[in-house]
Amino acid sequence: MAYSKNLTIIAGTALAYFLTFELNAYLFSSLAYAPDVYWVCLPSGLQLAFILIFVESGAIGIAIATTILGLLHQPDADLITILGAGFFSGFAPWLARLICIARFNLDDDLKNLTPATLLAISMLFSLLPAVLQQLWYSCCGLTNDFLGTTTVMVSGALIGTIAMLYFAKLVLHVHSYSTRS
């Protein structure tokens, strides 16, 4: 039972991340700094939520989705480069979660999460994956502008994360209002 639940979470997070990335590319293609590097990156908000809630299963789903996206969007890249990008996209936020739990003394179930802590976590979740992924791309020779692409990825991830957090807050507010009526 737990095995099928984890597979469902992995598949669900992979699909949601994939679709959100494609939607983001469609909505913000005019704001692309470089291929797949956007000034607004809504999937980062999902990345944060999936890693905080589903931990390893969320990381695996994100890694799978990013690998598939790499195969679709970077047909000239070699498989090792694409697999590495998928790995860093899924497991850098997982590492950020571990750092945040230790740094902010969070419970594993995140019961003591405050708005200030969530903002700090959002910053680390925006920084660490972008830096590690751009280091990987730089090592693979896919970027000549490490500082520029990293800066845009961090900014885009933070903007996207905050946008998704406010969207979630709005949905929860509307839901709680509709259940009171």
- 3-state class (DSSP) for residue 32: strand
In tens, the pLDDT along 39-91 reads 999 999 999 889 988 999 999 999 999 999 999 998 888 899 999 999 999 99
For 34, phi then psi, to 5°, come to -155, 170
Number of domains in the chain: 1
Q: With 0-12 CB in 10 A as exposed, 13-18 as middle and 19+ as buried, what is 12?
A: middle
pTM recorded for the entire structure: 0.87
User: By residue range, what is the domain housing residue 7?
Assistant: 2-180
Comparing CA positions, the residue from 102, 116, 110, 112 lying closest to residue 49 is 110
